[in-house]
Amino acid sequence: MRTVWWWVAVAALWGCIACGTSGTGEEVVPFTLAIETDPVGRRFTTATGWEVELEEAHIALGAVTLYSNAPPTASWMERLRGWFVPVAHAHAGFDEYEGGTVRGELLEPVVLDLLGEGRPFEAALEGIAGPVRSVSLELRTVAAAPLSGAHARVRGTASRDGEVIRFEGGLALPADAKSRRVTGIPAELTLADGAEVRLVVHPQRWFADADFSSLPEAGEGGVRPIPTDSQVHAAWYLGARGWGAFTVH
């Protein structure tokens, strides 16, 4: 009988080790969330042939959430593994996407100077240890300068075939939450003690399909505005939230 209790004790100890110190079986770990700017994002050529140089680029992000579920772009191995390893049941894919278990999150909005010196943002956070397969975030708006009520703001120059256009404007997203969220950014990370999660912003994606020649005539100072009903704003609306606007490393 004593032997049985000894094995029960061993099993219980093993269970504690396997599950970590959390009463829920989840291990809380410290990690660093860093937000960076793709160096290419300062000067780039768009799919429409414009050479763009940004002089200013600000954006406000909030509710950056690290999830356990892979987005629909998951690799074949990921899909295969899904059929052999139990996973949290959540709805994912080209239909509505849900990320599953939250591993970590940044709740407060941060205004990022994407072209400033050094990393625009870095914070020490705590999360739940385990695989991170996707990240979702929200584009926020801040009333104060430099965003002044916009979700992002840029100033720069676009050149094509000898035409040089100076532009400046803000990105205004609709009020509905889904238009402000970027969901299912692919990630292949494991959140562990001391891990660093790098969220990279790619401003070169913002104007991939923009036609700067369609902007209205310049006002004082020779700078053309980006009206919310313009083609450039529509391209920015898609590009700032679309595939490739953010990556996770």
Which residues contact another protein by CB under 8 A? 71-74, 79, 82-84, 86-87, 89-97, 176, 178-179, 182-185, 208-211, 229, 231, 234-235, 237-239, 241-245
Q: How many beta carbons lie within 10 A of that of residue 238, not counting itself?
A: 16
Contacts of 139 (CB under 8 A, 6+ apart): 59, 60, 61, 151, 152, 171, 173, 180, 181, 182, 240, 241
Integer angstrom CA distances of residue 83 from 75, 89, 96: 13, 12, 20
* Distance, CA of 172 to CA of 13 (rounded, Å): 55
C-alpha 89/C-alpha 2 separation (Å) is 42
Spatial separation of the C-alpha atoms in residues 185 and 188, rounded to whole Å: 10
Residue 212 DSSP symbol: G
Residue 236, helix vs strand vs coil: helix
Check residue 217 and report its DSSP letter.
P
Q: 3-state SS string over 140-187?
A: CCCCCCCCCCCCEEEEEEEEECCEEEEEEEEECCCCCHHHHEEEEEEE
Helix (H, G, I), strand (E, B) or coil at 30: strand
Q: How far apart, in whole angstroms, are the C-alpha atoms of residue 152 and residue 166?
A: 17
